[in-house]
């Protein structure tokens, strides 16, 4: 199966009313688990790859079920640390037509937000690993989670592991006193492959196209490969350690209908 892939992040309990209902129209919630980095782990495991997911979860039966969920897809959960007080929860209403999707977060004080970097055995985690994936979500959760993320990418680099990072800016999360660029520009120094949409580049890294950098006649919301090439050049100039940079674009047709496209640039 090749060398192990490792991802690190938060898995939350995902609670959603049936179909397109609003909260509590029916006294029932669909209950699954979700989180960007865990979803990546599951997708890779579905392709038959050897992938481990690293996180912290409390020592209760909800977290047991979350681990069972990951393990069912073949994800290696042996590096999941049981610590802290609670699993994050988010409540989701699926959008319909003009009504947008709606999320209520209840994720403060989750186990991952209080997990200290030194409580993980990084040598064991990255032994035999070939790739490590992280996102801009975890550093946004708390000061502790930010330090955990930085320790993780450094450890990965020391072990000779390729590091990818989705810069993923989440405005609601950056509440602990630092700005995203303060944290992310340090973290991205240890990244080989960057992934982001244009807004993430601006909000997470502080890199944006200025007047004069690039002129276009392509309407906003459509993929403009030349524009993205200009943006990528500025990123490569700031982070010469990057080998690849992908720029993604989501076109939003309605609450339940999106288009996706992306460009990949080689900076080496």
* Binding segment (CB under 8 A) for a second copy, from list 24-32, 116-124, 127-135, 215-223: 24-32
205 three-state secondary structure = helix
Neighbouring C-beta atoms of residue 215, cutoff 10 Å: 9
100 interacts with a second copy by CB under 8 A: no
Q: Under the criterion CB under 8 A, does residue 109 sit at the interface with a second copy?
A: yes
Does 71 participate in binding a second copy (rule CB under 8 A)? yes
Alpha-carbon gap, residue 29 to 104, rounded angstroms? 13
Q: Which is nearer to a second copy, 69 or 79 (CB)?
A: 69
Query: Which of 1-9, 105-113, 154-162, 223-231 is the region at the interface with a second copy (rule: CB under 8 A)?
Result: 105-113
State the Cα–Cα distance between residues 209 and 232, nearest whole angstrom: 10
The helix/strand/coil state of 76 is strand
Least distance (Å) between residue 39 CB and a second copy: 14
Buried b (16+ CB within 10 A) or exposed e, 33-61: bbbbbbebbbebbeeebbbbbbbbbbeee
H/E stretch holding 236 = helix 225-238
Under the binding rule (CB under 8 A), the answer on residue 73 touching a second copy is yes
> What is the signed CA dihedral for 21, 16, 135, 2, rounded to 10 degrees?
-120
Q: Is 167 helix (H, G, I), strand (E, B) or coil?
A: coil
Q: Interface with a second copy includes 79 (CB under 8 A)?
A: no
Answer yes or no whether residue 27 interacts with a second copy by CB under 8 A.
yes
Q: In terms of CB distance, is 23 or 176 closer to a second copy?
A: 23
> C-beta of 127: minimal distance to a second copy in Å?
20
Q: Does residue 20 bind a second copy (CB under 8 A)?
A: no
Count, residues near a second copy per rule CB under 8 A: 33
Residues that bind a second copy (CB under 8 A): 15, 19, 23-32, 60-62, 64-65, 68-69, 71-74, 85-87, 89, 91, 102, 104, 106, 108-109
């Amino acid at each position: 199966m090749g060398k192990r892939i490792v991802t690190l992040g938060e898995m939350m309990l995902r609670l959603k009313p049936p179909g397109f209902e609003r909260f509590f129209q029916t006294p029932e919630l669909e209950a699954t688990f979700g989180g960007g980095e865990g979803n990546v782990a599951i997708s890779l495991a579905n392709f038959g790859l050897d992938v481990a997911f690293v996180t912290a979860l409390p020592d209760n039966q909800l977290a047991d079920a979350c681990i069972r969920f990951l393990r069912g897809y073949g994800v290696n959960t042996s590096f999941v640390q049981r610590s802290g007080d609670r699993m994050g929860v988010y409540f989701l209403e699926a959008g319909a037509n003009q009504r947008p999707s709606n999320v209520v977060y209840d994720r403060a004080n989750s186990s991952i937000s209080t997990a200290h970097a030194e409580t993980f055995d990084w040598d064991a985690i990255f032994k035999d690993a070939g790739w490590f994936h992280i996102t801009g979500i975890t550093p946004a959760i708390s000061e502790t989670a930010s330090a955990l993320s930085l320790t993780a990418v450094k450890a990965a680099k020391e072990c000779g592991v390729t590091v990818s990072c989705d810069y993923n800016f989440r405005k609601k999360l950056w509440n602990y006193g630092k700005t995203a660029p303060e944290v992310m520009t340090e973290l991205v120094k240890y990244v080989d492959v960057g992934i982001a949409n244009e807004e993430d580049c601006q909000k997470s890294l502080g890199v944006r196209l200025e007047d004069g950098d690039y002129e276009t006649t392509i309407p906003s919301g459509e993929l403009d490969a030349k524009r993205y090439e200009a943006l990528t050049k500025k990123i490569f100039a700031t982070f010469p350690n990057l080998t690849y940079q992908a720029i993604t674009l989501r076109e939003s047709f309605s609450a339940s209908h999106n288009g996706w496209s992306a460009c990949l640039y080689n900076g080496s």
